[in-house]
Amino acid sequence: MENVISQRELENKELAKNAAEEAIVLLQNKNKTLPLKNKTVALYGSGAFATVKGGTGSGDVNQRNVVSILVGLENHGFTVTSKSWLARLERYYQKEKNLYAEKLKDDPMALLAPAFNFKDPEISEFEDATTGIYVVSRNAGENYDRRNHKGDFKLTDNELANITQMSEYYTNSIVLLNTGGVMDTSFVDQCPMLDSIVLVSQLGMTSGDAIAEILDGTKTPSGKLSDTWANSYSDYPTSENFGMSNPEYIEGIYVGYRYFDSFNIKPRYEFGYGLSYAKFFIKMQKVNVNEQRIRLQVNVENIDDNFSGQETVQVYVSKPQTDLPTAYQELVDFNKTTVLRPKAQQTLEFEIPMTNLSIFDTELGAYVLVPGTYYVRVGNSSRHTQVVARFKLDKKVILKKVEDVLKPRVDPTTLIKNQVELKDDSSSQFFILKAANFPETKFVEYQEPSDVTTFISERENLPGKGLDQVIEHVRNAAGKTLMDVADGDVELAEFIASLSEKQLVDLVEGQLSSTKNSMVGISSDLVPGAAGQTGTLNSRKVPAVVMADGPAGVRVDPIFERNGQTVTHYATAWPVGTALAQTWNKELIEKVGFAISTEMKEFGIDLWLAPGMNIHRDPLGGRNFEYFSEDPYLSGTMAAFETKGVQAHPKIGVTVKHFFGNNQESFRNYGNSVIGEQALREIYLRNFEIAIKEGKPVAIMSSYNRVNGTFSGANFELLTNVLRDEWNYQGMVMTDWFSSADPKESMHAGNDLIMPGNSKSKLLSAVSDFGPEFDEYGNIKIQKDYDLLKKKFVETEMWNDFTVDADGSVVVRVRVDEDSRLNDRVKNWVYNGDAQIIDDEHILLTGKWKDNNDLYLGDLQKCAINVLRMILKLKF
């Protein structure tokens, strides 16, 4: 077996380390303990050797190795005096982990099981060293939310005792938080002797090396928080309305720092916060505001004498406080400097479109700019800014009028009034804007949910019920191939009209693996371990598109056999999504995206199921680590730049997910998020809108959950009216794996592709008289599916459109041997005249077709067109 590390692996590993270093956030550094001058340390906590690189579930990655914190420190010349203690603990840790794995070995849902949780013992005796370091590790993952319990969001009693005693025993004391999300930091108050706290997050395969270079000063920390860290979990407005089956988003737009700033609640560490070894001076150079944009030039100088470093300049705007709910301030732009040596300077430029300052007025059904005075703030965190400009708008401006789509039956919002008044600042530059100078109001032309267009060349007796169908006659393209479409010889509508119902269904449903299919995307025959693939039409030269999970890398099998040869596909495990957001570095994220697409091309992956970008509504979200931030602007911008990087490679695409309102793992497959219209548009749609308009992703994945009563994967207002009519999206939409949305409704709603492809029979039954399916011996076929509600496998006999009826005119031949599950029914069928016995093993069943051909051919065609456009983009 070839085990040579490729040049691609080496280059991506170095980039992953750079990203990891920029993601690390220095939260506390008393007495300038960091960087460490003495490299003799005592290291504690199971996270020292079992460093968590990233969360569990579909976001996991198969990398060659992971550098633990212990190994990383030793790689960089540290002497660890507690190695014997760590070795004993590791033996016990491994024993407990093996027992946990043994319990799950026969569980088909093992990949979605809760992460292994090990509780550190109390340290009885500390080893000699100048510096003590304690690693607090937490893991989470798909299918389970975190809990506000000791050992998860909170420290265990042993961890608290260990940190307290360590801080009292050693001259220098450091806590490393190896966690993918926010956790309780009340230990800061309980450990007054503790010197430094570093949020190392979950940094992928180079974790230990990156952390070591921050601790010894090789690199200066420059990460900033992408979430608000509260003093207590109860401080979050979501704490009483999270994790239930029908969470009501009572907080409205007041998510994260918008809430803490607007209701005067002091956090432990504010959004955008992060310390550095260096010191920076931020100075406003130029500002100009007009009806089109805000333009700023900001100078950043490293005024430190000893340390180089990077600083992030953040721009916030406070909007006039009116009757419309408005946050105290909102992030509207950010930029990060390059590495500045002591006394070096850099000028950063910002241009913020005035339309980005809009508020959604639910009564008008419009995006508006409210009249009054706006304040532009510049700083290096949400609570460390100064007003650099003010401007006054004379009248309300209606920017864009939209329809009341996605609206809840009853708006659950209770937080509607900002409690912190804006204070005037007469020292900054002042501008006056006139409503009359803004463009006229934009209006959206919406597709009607009652309309459907069907393309035909020569066909009658079309299926479908209840909609207004427009039939377009097109040229006959029988026998033509997708290559003819690519060459411009045939129109896509003509090609689609020439396909049979089965061929259309094969396009709008994924292709299940012939050997292995899993709830967590393992459904591809072409690339082992890939998440899935689209169907093929060989006679029409339609190839498959292969998809792989993300977002912390490309998840495929690392080693497999192909044509008698061993193939190695070790992927890079990158920092998790939250960590990437903590870099606040757009250009770096774009480079990471490009490196990921390099691996995709090498592995034979066409479409990456990432980036994940749901909002961190609550810190207990089980998949928060996969997503970027509590803020829609930061989230959308990071997703857009990662998308640009990936898609800079030709014939490679991303799938932004999960669209939308998927902000918890509890009840995710059928739960209903009840969200007010303003919060929908300003928070939970806004991040996707930014990513889609700026990044132009090839695909979007709809989420499992319902929003305001409708499954996202079957929501016409979401997938057609908002996504395509309001945002002009031209790409393809797919479901998440084994979606609970009705596949017929998904087709009409604009969910083009159903993955991984387990509902073909339902669609064929809805568009044609689709008979029973049999196995290779003639027995009725049994389809086995995992019921997410019952949490067990269920079996379905595939009779499809056929129903037993003695008065029917349809006859089918069925095998019924001595082991058949049908034996108990045969006697009644014969007695009722439904069946006739042919021989010892076969019967003839009489029946008729169900009257259920209510799916329009045009809905299948519409979705198939979008799937084919995606295939043309990626494969031709």
For the chain, what is the domain count? 4
Whether 740 and 756 have beta carbons less than 8 Å apart is answered as no
User: Are 642 and 674 within one domain?
Assistant: yes
Spatial neighbors of 606 by CB under 8 A, at least 6 apart, are 545, 546, 547, 600, 651, 652, 653, 874, 875
Burial class from Cβ neighbours inside 10 Å (0-12, 13-18, 19+) for residue 569 reads buried
CATH number of residue 554's parent domain? 3.20.20.300
- Coil, helix or strand at residue 196: strand
User: Are 801 and 698 within one domain?
Assistant: no
| Mean pLDDT, residues 61-67 | 94
Q: What is the mean pLDDT of the chain?
A: 95
pLDDT band at 458 (very low <50, low <70, confident <90, very high): confident
| Domain assignment of residue 598, yes or no | yes
| Domain assignment of residue 456, yes or no | no
Nearest to 197 by CA among 113, 97, 273, 280: 273
pLDDT at res. 1: 40
d(CA 717, CA 710): 10
Nearest to 98 by CA among 118, 120, 72: 118
| Domain assignment of residue 241, yes or no | no
pLDDT at res. 191: 97
User: Are 809 and 861 within one domain?
Assistant: no
439 has pLDDT over 90: yes
User: Are 800 and 652 within one domain?
Assistant: no
| Domain assignment of residue 475, yes or no | no
pLDDT tens digits for range 829-862? 999 999 999 998 999 999 999 999 999 999 999 9
331 has pLDDT over 80: yes
pLDDT at res. 60: 86
Say how many C-beta atoms besides its own lie within 10 A of residue 320's C-beta.
Answer: 17
| Mean pLDDT, residues 688-698 | 98
d(CA 46, CA 86): 8
User: Are 107 and 188 within one domain?
Assistant: yes
User: Are 38 and 124 within one domain?
Assistant: yes
Nearest to 183 by CA among 144, 147, 143: 147
658: preceding bond cis by omega (within 30 degrees): yes
| Mean pLDDT, residues 364-373 | 98
| Domain assignment of residue 638, yes or no | yes
460 has pLDDT over 90: no
User: Are 305 and 437 within one domain?
Assistant: yes
Nearest to 133 by CA among 92, 181, 172: 172
Backbone angles phi, psi at 390, to 5 degrees: -130, 150
CATH number of residue 139's parent domain? 3.40.50.1700
Domain edge (last residue) among 399, 424, 443:
443
User: Are 623 and 514 within one domain?
Assistant: yes
pLDDT band at 562 (very low <50, low <70, confident <90, very high): confident
Burial class from Cβ neighbours inside 10 Å (0-12, 13-18, 19+) for residue 239 reads middle
Instruction: DSSP for 149-176, please give it.
Output: SBTTTB--HHHHHHHHHHHHHSSEEEEE
791 has pLDDT over 80: no
Half-sphere exposure of residue 29: CA atoms within 13 angstroms, side-chain side: 19
Spatial neighbors of 461 by CB under 8 A, at least 6 apart, are none
pLDDT tens digits for range 495-515? 999 999 999 999 999 998 876
| Mean pLDDT, residues 308-336 | 97
CATH number of residue 427's parent domain? 2.60.40.10
Domain edge (last residue) among 398, 417, 443:
443
What's the pTM?
0.96
543: preceding bond cis by omega (within 30 degrees): no
pLDDT at res. 671: 95
| Domain assignment of residue 97, yes or no | yes
**Range in 146-155, 176-185, 441-450, 557-566 with the lowest mean pLDDT:** 557-566
User: Are 211 and 148 within one domain?
Assistant: yes
Q: Which residues on neighbouring strands pair with residue 198, listed in sequence order?
A: 26, 176
517 has pLDDT over 70: no
611: preceding bond cis by omega (within 30 degrees): yes
Instruction: DSSP for 8-28, please give it.
Output: HHHHHHHHHHHHHHHH-EEEE
d(CA 385, CA 136): 32
| Domain assignment of residue 25, yes or no | yes
User: Are 302 and 431 within one domain?
Assistant: yes
H or E element that contains 678: helix 677-679
Domain that holds residue 812: 782-849
pLDDT at res. 302: 98
User: Are 296 and 173 within one domain?
Assistant: no
d(CA 642, CA 550): 12
pLDDT tens digits for range 192-240? 999 999 999 999 999 999 999 999 999 999 999 999 999 999 999 999 9
| Domain assignment of residue 813, yes or no | yes
User: Are 433 and 515 within one domain?
Assistant: no
pLDDT tens digits for range 569-611? 899 999 999 999 999 999 999 999 999 999 999 999 999 999 9
